[in-house]
Structure 1
Amino acid sequence: MCTGILYRNGAFSYFGRNLDLQYQLANNVTVCPRNFVLNYHHLPPMKEHSAIVGMAITGYGYPLFFDGVNEYGVAAASLNFPGYGQYSTTLEEGKKNITSFEIIPYLLCTCKNLDEVKAELSQINLVADDFNEQIKSVPLHWIVADHDGSIVFEQTPTGLHVYDNPLNTLANAPDFPAQTVNFANYMNLSAEYPVNRIAPKLNVPVYSSGMGTDGLPGGLDSMSRFVRAAFMNNNSHAEETDEATLTQFFHILQTVQQIDGANKEKDGFYEITNYTSGFNLDTMDFYWTTYNNQQIQALHTKALDLDQSDLIVFPSQARQGVSWIH
């Protein structure tokens, strides 16, 4: 399971996600430069395109992106969508037939803003091809953002649906409309200092701050994480600087991280937050933490040679970084 957000703080916008799984993936910080040839199952190869940076599996010579941002500030992340996502089993004439593992690089290599993403999605048929014998197609849905806002798209038995996302938040199942309806159940929550509404004529003691959040879901299930992340994201307050925005972005996603031992799956393994990724949509700088290293690591992507034709791959630091003062 996973959680993704777009955090907007004045002039600054950060996008990213927690990737939650019960096992570690061979994911690496991956730059797909402008001249890396992207091969598609049902489309011609893309030889020139926008540069991308994100987390990906790269051991097969092709960047299997979980999330990423391009040099124009368009970002995307895929989240597990079990029981709801369903891809097409046939190619559709007149549509661009694209697989689930190709959709992030396709959109980020093609689009310069969210309007262009919507236009592309109107022409796309998501097909159910596996990547290879080892990597099978799994049900996913996606959150996509630029500096000004975000959308969600998901393909179900009734077709490919695109939703505006004013909450700038996404978790897993159920579908996005159901998540937003459930969010309305918590509209009485507040970040404000508590007010006595239960018996206004009486002197009811305020024994604690934060009483307006009483009832905020604390579970690790996707419905609870959606509400909690959306509440934190939309009530967040930070100084309008890049550093403060970055710090607050990671704090928001920390409220929905999975802790080893707290969520046992039916296979007997415990789900954990493998990593948290963060993209500055203005600079293309990429930040991340991993479960075993909570120190923020960073890549100044635009300092690299983005015109080359080979993937640029950086293994993420697995051991905890500690800053000693003495």
Structure 2
Amino acid sequence: MCTSIFTVTKDGKYLLSRTMDFSFELDTQPVYLPREHSFESVVDGTEYVGKYGVLGAGTEIEGLYTVADGVNEKGLSMAELYLPGEAYYAEDSKEGAINLAPHEFITWAIERFATIDELEKELHQVHLVAKSAPLINIITPLHWIVTDRTGRCVVIEPLTENLTITENSVGVMTNTPNIQWHFSNLHNYLHVRPKQYPPVKFGEYEARAFSQGTGTMGLPGGYTPPERFVRAAFFKEHIKQAENETEGVSNAYHILSTVRIPKGIVVTADDREDFSQYVGTMCNTSLTYYYTSYENYQIAKVQMTDELLQSTEPRMFKVQKEEAFKELN
């Protein structure tokens, strides 16, 4: 599951936001990975050393830090989402290639590239191999949404042995099917609009709307990837554009509230609850990460300061996992 959106404010701030929907409790927290952070690929043991500091959401298991989304100090933002049934991975490593497990790709890319153009030039060298991710112990079928400070937004998908990169002019991504399918599916929703439809006559009888909202009749309301994609695209397209970053973050949370999954609403075939464990928003202009957990709607904020960039060790930022209320009396 998961839904991601890319939005722009009137003063030129770029925001990449996502829900993390999963049936396995990930216990994710905001995390900072320092410059020269390194990891060894589970594919062939090659050590990869990063160049840039990264703020995102991730986990730490026995000293190994992973991220599911984040922004680096140069303003490159990424988020990984599921692509079950369509993600293609090789069974073995390839000589002369950059051999990575699927869950390692985001860390490899976000720690080393400043722009999408830089990443695109090396993408042909990447060879994804079917290796399990830690904690969940499964081979994760993934695709990635990527943005940078130029305002470019793309989707990277492992549909064949070579990764494909697609310009994301809609600025939305969910899950299977692939991104081109979702673009085409929008043709089915040309009738959906914010404006009220006028009365219609049937013979001499004039049918009038019961109330406001007739323009949104036909907007899908379920939680399948196609339904979430259409809903997110509609709300993103028509919400009043934010003036600045603060309003932009608020807009992102309003849009994603239409696809955020409460516990008990989506139940898997093996009776597990798939729900929105957190919402993260990255501003690749101010280098700020915003985070809310399922349990607490208060937005937490971490910014990539000069002091943080001087850190040489990864750092987890613990957020309160209980609802916080502002007392007024």
Question: Structure 2-normalised TM-score?
Answer: 0.91
1:253 aligns with 2:256: yes
Cα deviation, 1:237-271, whole Å, max 9, x if unaligned, reads 13412211111111111110001111111121222
| 3-state secondary structure, aligned to 2:177 | coil
2:276 is aligned with 1:273: yes
Does structure 1 conserve the Cα–Cα contact (< 8 Å) formed by 2:200 and 2:207? no
Other-structure match for 2:29? 28
Q: Check whether the contact 2:198–2:208 (CA below 8 A) recurs between aligned residues.
A: no
Who is 2:73 aligned against? 71
- Summarize the alignment of residues 189-200 of structure 1 with structure 2, pairs less than 5 Å apart: 189-195=192-198
Q: Is the 8 A contact 1:35 1:307 kept in 2?
A: no
Residue type of the alignment partner of 2:31: T
The structure 2 residue matched to 1:161, chosen from 164, 167, 171, is 164
What's the CA shift string for 1:206-226, capped at 9, x where partnerless? 443221111000001111001
Q: Does the CA-based 8 Å contact 2:127-2:161 persist in structure 1? A: no
* Aligned equivalents of 2:3, 2:140: Cα separation in 1: 17
Q: More displaced, 230-239 or 64-73?
A: 230-239
Shift of 1:43: 7.4
> 1:81 aligns to what?
83
Aligned pairs for 1:80-119 within 5 A: 80-119=82-121
Give a deviation string over 1:166-216, Cα, whole Å, max 9, x none: 1111111111111111121112211234345888x9965344322111100
Measure how far apart 1:52 and its partner are: 0.4
Tell me, yes or no, if the aligned pair for 1:36 and 1:308 is still in contact at 8 Å.
Answer: no
Equivalent residue, structure 1, for 2:59: 57
Residue 144 of structure 1 contacts residue 151 of structure 1 at CA under 8 Å; is this kept in 2? yes
User: Does residue 238 of structure 2 align to residue 228 of structure 1?
Assistant: no
- Whether the 8 Å contact between 1:53 and 1:68 is mirrored in structure 2 is yes
In 1, Cα distance between the equivalents of 2:160 and 2:210?
A: 50
Moved more, 9-18 or 287-296: 9-18
**CA distance in 1: counterparts of 2:171 and 2:234, whole angstroms:** 11
Q: Distance in 2 between matches of 1:197 and 1:87?
A: 54
CA distance in 2, matches of 1:110, 1:46: 9
User: Aligned with 2:14: secondary structure?
Assistant: strand
Structure 2 CA distance for partners of 1:13 and 1:133, relative to 1, 3 Å:
closer
Q: Which residue is equivalent to 1:5?
A: 5
Deviation at 1:307, TM superposition (A): 2.9
Distance change (3 Å), C-alpha of 1:239 and 1:158: closer
The amino acid that maps onto 2:165 is V
For 2:93, give the aligned amino acid.
L
Q: Which residue of 2 aligns with 1:285?
A: 288
CA-to-aligned-CA distance 1:32-52 (integer Å, 9 cap, x gap): 011323333447534451100
Is the 8 Å Cα contact of residues 71 and 282 (structure 2) preserved in structure 1? yes
For residues 282 and 294 of structure 1, the distance between their equivalents in structure 2, rounded to whole angstroms, comes to 24
**Does 140-149 or 35-44 show the bigger shift?**
35-44
Q: Distance in 2 between matches of 1:279 and 1:119?
A: 24
Q: Distance in 2 between matches of 1:76 and 1:239?
A: 22
Gaps spanning 5+ residues in structure 2: where?
none
User: How many Å apart are 1:134 and its aligned residue?
Assistant: 6.1
The change in CA–CA distance for 1:198 and 1:53 in structure 2 (over 3 A counts) is: farther
What is the alpha-carbon distance in structure 1 between the residues aligned to residue 83 and residue 221 of structure 2?
A: 21
SS where residue 183 of structure 2 aligns?
helix
Number of the residue aligned with 2:213: 210
Contact 2:90-2:161 at 8 Å conserved across structures: no
**1:126 and 2:132 aligned:** no
Which is worse superposed, 262-271 or 204-213? 204-213
Native 8 Å contact 1:152 1:176 kept in 2: yes
RMSD: 2.3
TM-score by length of 1: 0.92
Per the TM alignment, residue 28 of structure 1 is displaced from its structure 2 partner at its CA by: 1.9
Gaps of 5+ in 1: none
TM-fit CA distance, 1:100: 1.2
**1:22-78 C-alpha deviation (Å, 9 max, x unpaired):** 232122211001132333344753445110011111123222111111111111111
Residue number in structure 2 paired with 1:299: 302
- Percent sequence identity is 26
Supply the distance in 1 between the matched residues of 2:302 and 2:101 (Cα, whole angstroms): 29
**Runs of 4+ more than 4 Å apart:** 41-44, 131-134, 195-199, 201-204
Q: CA deviation at 1:325?
A: 1.0
How far is the alpha carbon of 1:294 from its aligned partner? 0.7
**Could you tell which deviates more after superposition, 60-69 or 162-171?**
60-69
Residues 55, 68 of structure 1: 8 Å contact kept = yes
Q: Secondary structure at the match of 1:38?
A: strand
What is the aligned length? 326
